[in-house]
């Protein structure tokens, strides 16, 4: 049984509540036609999806806050299920290892980092593209990258088939599942892998800071206790 830590539990609750809110909005409110943002015919969406998804920065629909809100939106039941499964499976161990504050910082930075990469790629390479990005996949890819880097040889028992597998292999399997269930397009997929890239850079930075601290302590000790 999965044992959820406080931040992970709250993140899952927020994602589920936003997903339910989007579903209810689609049935209880009038759909929003945002074709004018792209100059082409687009299928209408519910009001929650319209405001919280991340759009191309060239369009009138783009708002800076979407770089944060998009990661709590999901396009379907399979999309949110596999994202939350990955979050519940790997994130609690990272939160227990890092602490609540550091884990939350990591989650937000990787999620927003993926959104920024998506915005930059669209802005410079696909200025006229339509559609939007939504989902926690960028942050999830970051978590998978972190888990594989921090606990590469930890063995995890699969539910089916019930066999052990090392974390560094399991993260690729979960990454493939989240990739397969995401229908937000090739540019968004690139941005999601960008979340893993941001995670790699952030962990390497943290490791370098730890090395600097250890080196400073060593130098201080050498000054207090000089070699005989």
Position 201 scores a pLDDT of 95
Low-confidence ranges of the chain (pLDDT < 70): 1, 128-130, 158-161, 175, 177-188, 211-228
* pLDDT computed for residue 166 by the predictor: 85
Quickly tell me which residue has 């699969």 as its tokens: 158
pLDDT of residue 226: 47
- Nearest CA to 133 out of 81, 177, 85, 79 is that of 79
What is residue 39's predicted lDDT score, i.e. its pLDDT? 72
**Lookup: tokens for 164:** 């052990």
Q: Which two tokens stand for residue 210?
A: 């730890």
Torsion of CA 199, 175, 9, 45, to 10 degrees: 100
Contact 171, 157 (CB under 8 A): no
Asked if residue 105 lies in contact with residue 160, where contact means CB atoms within 8 angstroms, the answer is no
**54 in Cβ contact with 115 (< 8 Å):** yes
Percent of the chain with pLDDT over 90: 41
Per-residue confidence (pLDDT) for residue 60, from 0 to 100 = 86
Which pLDDT value is given to residue 159? 64
HSE on the CB side for 84, CA within 13 Å?
20
Per-chain mean pLDDT for the chain? 84
Looking at residue 80, what is its pLDDT?
92
pLDDT tens track for 82-123: 889 889 988 999 999 999 999 999 999 999 999 999 888 888
Q: With residue 155 as reference, give the H or E element that holds it.
A: strand 155-157
Residues 6+ apart with CB under 8 A from 23: 46
Instruction: Give me the pLDDT at residue 29, please.
Output: 87
For the chain, count helices (H), then strands (E).
8, 4
Question: What is the reported pLDDT for 227?
Answer: 45
């Amino acid at each position: 049984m999965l044992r959820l830590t406080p931040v992970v539990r709250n993140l899952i609750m927020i994602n589920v509540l936003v997903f339910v809110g989007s579903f209810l909005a689609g049935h209880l409110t009038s759909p929003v036609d945002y074709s004018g943002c792209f100059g082409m015919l687009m299928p209408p969406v519910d009001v929650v999806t319209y405001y919280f998804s991340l759009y191309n920065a060239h369009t009138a629909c783009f708002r800076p806050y979407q770089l944060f809100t998009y990661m709590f939106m999901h396009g379907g039941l399979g999309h949110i299920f596999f994202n939350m499964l990955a979050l519940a499976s790997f994130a609690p161990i990272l939160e227990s290892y890092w602490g609540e504050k550091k884990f939350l910082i990591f989650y937000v930075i990787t999620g927003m980092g993926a959104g920024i990469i998506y915005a930059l790629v669209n802005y410079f390479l696909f200025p006229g593209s339509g559609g939007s990005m939504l989902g926690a996949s960028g942050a999830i890819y970051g978590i998978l990258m972190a888990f594989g880097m921090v606990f590469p040889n930890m063995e995890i028992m699969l539910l089916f088939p019930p066999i052990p597998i090392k974390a560094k292999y399991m993260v690729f399997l979960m990454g493939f599942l989240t990739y397969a269930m995401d229908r937000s397009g090739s540019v968004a997929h690139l941005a999601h892998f960008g979340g893993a890239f941001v995670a790699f850079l952030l962990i390497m930075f943290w490791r370098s800071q730890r090395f600097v601290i250890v080196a400073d302590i060593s130098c201080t000790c050498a000054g207090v206790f000089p070699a005989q």
